[in-house]
Amino acid sequence: MTEIETTQSGQSISNASRENHFTQTLLTPSEVAEAGKLLQKLLGGLESAILGQGELLEMVVTGLLSRGHILLEGLPGLGKTEIVKSLSKLLGLEFRRIQFTPDLLPSDILGTPILEDHSSGRNLVFHRGPIFANLVLADEINRATPKTQSALLEAMSETRVTVMGESHQLPLPFFVLATQNPIELEGTYPLPEAQLDRFLFKVDVQNISSETLEEIVLTRKHGIAPKLDEALNHSELNKLFDLADRIHLPKAVGNYIARIVSGTHPSSPSSSEEVRRFVRFGASPRAAIALSAASRSAALLSGKPNVGFEEVRGVAYCVLNHRLLLDYQARLEGCTRRTVIEHILENIPEVSREIPPDVKM
């Protein structure tokens, strides 16, 4: 019987996978091929439900494989909710949606103990809230009060809920996919940095092209997505999780990740001039952990047994986007997070040392 332990991120890993995490054997090509098939199946199902958002879907799947929580930010009607619904269907996971409003209370999310009358007497019975699901959609999370937002903190970080001194474990796998509207910010409560840091990704949901719109209009009636069947069962999903954990992270890539995260701090000697000018606070070590996990998932998605530099660059924006706090100078000069992250990635070389100029490849 495998023992289940929880990691710092609150996700459970088996002993076998834990051993594999530290062993130096690569995934076999067959394993990678099998994982690729499963993931392609998943992606295919998602793409059939959500049109014209290929990159977004890959990011979501990557985040999912990394067992992290995702924050989706985009205009209304771009399919954010639909993504989560489709995902739940394809994965056969329990899905709950929480619509965050200003009057939402923490107990509405976590659950409340209710006094019940029984023949034996009156007991306080904890009634679980909507958070007790595999996939939780926190819609417009920035509309709820900070008190309510903080109710998610423990759940997201430790996959458990404590109510009235009693802890209740959340079901695994547990994902929170939150959404927020970049417009209509009046009366909203921006997420605190502490909570933002707990999201693995913050993905910007872009507008779709006119071709995609045409396809939607022609193929969907009332915009209803086609019915989706389960693509991955629970065991297959666990297997994918194990394989993602076994993806090899070379030391040079780990060094690259560390230099990227260090480069986001203005006080770091390796930071560039733009970082010093526009960034107020850089990313935390949790960003480096998130970057490595997301890179592994990206590598598995790419069909590789190891993480490469391009995987790190591919997920860097989503991982670092919400972890940098820019200065007013950036706002004045119109410098966005994307610009800063692109600048960081350009200036930090993949290998800390360059090939000497007298050596020609």
Partner 1 sequence: MTDTDTIAARFLRRLNIGHFLARMGEWLAIVLSILGVCVLVVRLLTPDLWPEILWLCMCIVPVGYFAWRLSKKQKFTRLESIALFDSKLQSGGLLMAISECHDESWSEYLPQHEEEWHSLLPRIRPIRFLKVVIVPLLFLTVVCLIPLQSHSEQGRQTGTIQQKTTQKLQQMLDELNEAHLLEPEQTQQFQEDINKLKNQYTDSAMTHERWETVDTIEARLKQKAEQTVRTMRQAQQSLKILKTNQMPSEHGSLQNEEATSQIKLPGAKKRTRKSSVDSNKKTKNKTKKEKSRQNSSENRKMGQKLNEEQKRQLVENVSKALKTMLENNSDLLSQLSPEMLEKIQEMMKQNSQFDLPDDPELKEQLLNELQNLMKNESQRFQEMMQKLQRSGKLKELQNRLAAGQKSASRRSDRKSSSRRSNQNQSGKMGISRGPGSSPIDGTHPLSKSPTNFRDIVLPPGFRDKTKKETARIEMKEPEIETEQKTIRGNRKIEIDSSNLESFKRRIRPKHRQAVRKYFESKKKK
Q: Counting contacts by CB under 8 A, is residue 216 touching partner 1? A: no
Length of the chain: 361
* Amino acid, res. 138: A
Q: Which stretch binds partner 1 (CB under 8 A): 134-142, 187-195, 328-336, 344-352?
A: 344-352
- The C-alpha atoms of residue 166 and residue 39 are separated, in whole angstroms, by 38
- Nearest distance in Å: CB 179, partner 1: 33
Angle at the Cα of 98 from the Cα atoms of 200 and 208, rounded to 5 degrees: 60
Instruction: Give the Å distances, CA to CA, from 23 to 17, 42, 142, 145, 247.
Output: 10, 28, 42, 45, 10
String marking each residue 21-60 x if it binds partner 1 according to CB under 8 A: ---xxx-xx-------------------------------
Q: Counting contacts by CB under 8 A, is residue 186 touching partner 1? A: no
- Residues 171 and 40 sit within 8 Å (Cβ to Cβ): no
Q: Which stretch binds partner 1 (CB under 8 A): 145-153, 226-234, 317-325, 347-355?
A: 347-355
Q: Counting contacts by CB under 8 A, is residue 352 touching partner 1? A: yes
- The C-alpha atoms of residue 90 and residue 55 are separated, in whole angstroms, by 18
- Nearest distance in Å: CB 189, partner 1: 42
Q: Counting contacts by CB under 8 A, is residue 111 touching partner 1? A: no
Nearer to partner 1, 32 or 261 (CB): 32
Interaction residues for partner 1, span 306-325 (CB under 8 A): 306-310
Q: Counting contacts by CB under 8 A, is residue 270 touching partner 1? A: no
Instruction: Give the Å distances, CA to CA, from 234 to 25, 92, 94, 307.
Output: 25, 7, 11, 25
- Nearest distance in Å: CB 315, partner 1: 14
Interaction residues for partner 1, span 223-262 (CB under 8 A): 248, 250-253
- The C-alpha atoms of residue 127 and residue 133 are separated, in whole angstroms, by 13
Please tell me the number of Cα atoms within 13 Å of 340 on its side-chain side.
35
Q: Which residues bind partner 1 (CB under 8 A)?
A: 24-26, 28-29, 248, 250-253, 299, 302, 304-310, 350-361
